[in-house]
Chain A
């Protein structure tokens, strides 16, 4: 393992220690979603997944 790999792991560790509590807090404080909210986000995300699959097939 060279110095660059060690440096990258140190950055990952620092990032995790610094931001993990904020991420947990943000997740806890997020507004509650209804079934309609989830449906509203599932549709575009599924379309993105299908579009990416289409792009991959188009360059094969």
Chain B
């Protein structure tokens, strides 16, 4: 009987801990999305384009710092620096798309589409409570291949490869949302800062990849 009570208490504690991580993750995610929306707006007004190499170096530097400080309060500062910076890098891209004849429609469709995909996949992972840990290795390999292929497409100016990479990223980021949400639900991820960074990066890549695909296949020019 004591054993049953202990099991029930442990299960209840585990559920409470999971709910706390979920609540903190979605709260921090919504705050970082709002903040990066603000920095994207500032970047659109200022019109600064950093270039790909400084962008990558700053991005990986901030990602590393966030990862290293995720267990302390300093992690919160770095998560806002990281997401604020990523929002800032969206400015020149948004300006370029908004200059197209149907640019406003493309941006709003990509934004809405990203929201629907994120909410749909999160809802699926949360309600079915399926364990998607088996796709972790596949996601790491896929993201590595897509990232390197994306850099090669940029360096050699290969538009077709670049579109293929965007299509790959839509699928990989969809998988990453399922994986990360399932990790939180099953107690595999207990740090809400790390969970927020993963979900934010998924949303960011999903949005930019969707925008690229919509611009290429649905643009007027």
**B13 interface residue per 8 A CB criterion:** no
**B141 interface residue per 8 A CB criterion:** yes
- Chain B interface, number of residues (Cβ within 8 angstroms): 46
- Chain A interface, number of residues (Cβ within 8 angstroms): 39
Please provide the chain B residues from 99 to 135 with a CB less than 8 Å away from any CB of chain A in the complex: 102, 105-106, 109-110, 113, 116-117, 120-121, 124, 128, 130-135
With CB as the reference atom, state the residue of chain A lying closest to B152.
A12
Q: How far is the CB of B152 from chain A (nearest CB, A)?
A: 6
Partner of B132, one of A1, A26, A41: A41
Please provide the chain A residues from 1 to 47 with a CB less than 8 Å away from any CB of chain B in the complex: 1, 4-9, 11-12, 15-16, 19-20, 22-24, 26-33, 37, 40-41, 44-45, 47
- Do most interface residues of chain A lie in helix, strand or loop, or is the interface mixed? helix
* A48/B137 contact (C-beta < 8 A), A9-B152, A41-B178, A59-B214 known: no
A to B CB contacts below 8 Å, 25 in the list: A4-B53, A8-B151, A8-B155, A9-B151, A15-B151, A16-B144, A16-B148, A19-B140, A19-B144, A23-B140, A23-B141, A26-B137, A33-B134, A37-B130, A37-B132, A41-B175, A41-B178, A44-B124, A48-B117, A48-B120, A55-B210, A56-B213, A58-B218, A59-B218, A60-B218
